[in-house]
Chains A and B, each alone.
Chain A
């Protein structure tokens, strides 16, 4: 089954404790992105990747890091989480630019 898998689904952590949210897709897509969803703001792109070792900032990249060492994986790293990063995070992949994006189930992160 074609899918984008994120882990964990739920995470509560404390300010400053580094964490990683994993994302994996099995569709051999080149494009992968991370979005955060906040009430009243829709989804905003954090980072995207056009292929292995090619990443770039989205609209809200501050406080986040990403890497793309393999085509299928695109982890999101929060080196020092802060409460304003409490949000619902989605990973998405697409075959190429401007084609349908496939979304993961989401990761609800709470930073206390």
Chain B
């Protein structure tokens, strides 16, 4: 069975600092991996996805993530945090033959002025 672990339920950074949100997955078959963002009182919006092409994936709003098979990781980064990045971020995995996305428990990002 597949699973997703997001280390750190809350992460706080200063505006302009590096954002690093961690995601590790477990899957016995090659996965597709996703990062979604959820702003307050809104649904989830796709930031980026990995579907077995390039291992470094660029998404919206300056975010990117690198698929590292040897570390079973798919960490999300952004070089310089902006106040508008404050939200909850979810990592999710999809494997062939299973209809559901499996989500991590989420990381709430706080950006300090």
Q: Spell out A's residues near B (CB within 8 Å).
A: 4, 31, 33, 35, 40-45, 48, 50, 56, 58-59, 90, 92, 97-98, 100-101, 103-106
Contacts and interface: CB of A to CB of B under 8 A. Distances in A.
Interface residues of B, number: 24
21 contacts: A31-B99, A33-B100, A42-B90, A42-B103, A42-B104, A43-B101, A44-B103, A45-B99, A50-B99, A58-B100, A90-B43, A98-B96, A100-B34, A100-B49, A101-B44, A103-B43, A103-B44, A104-B43, A105-B41, A105-B42, A106-B42
Contacts of A48: 99-100
Given A33-B100, A58-B100, A98-B96, A106 B43 contact: yes
Contact of A45 (B36, B46, B100): B100
Contact of A97 (B9, B51, B99): B99
- What is the predominant secondary structure among interface residues of chain A facing chain B? strand
A43 B103 contact: yes
Q: In this complex, which of A50, A59, A106 has the most chain B Cβ atoms within 10 angstroms of its Cβ?
A: A106
Interface in B36-84: 36, 41-46, 49, 51
B24 interface: no
Nearest to B43: A103
A100 B46 contact: yes
A57 to B, nearest CB: 10
B110 interface: no
A101 B46 contact: yes
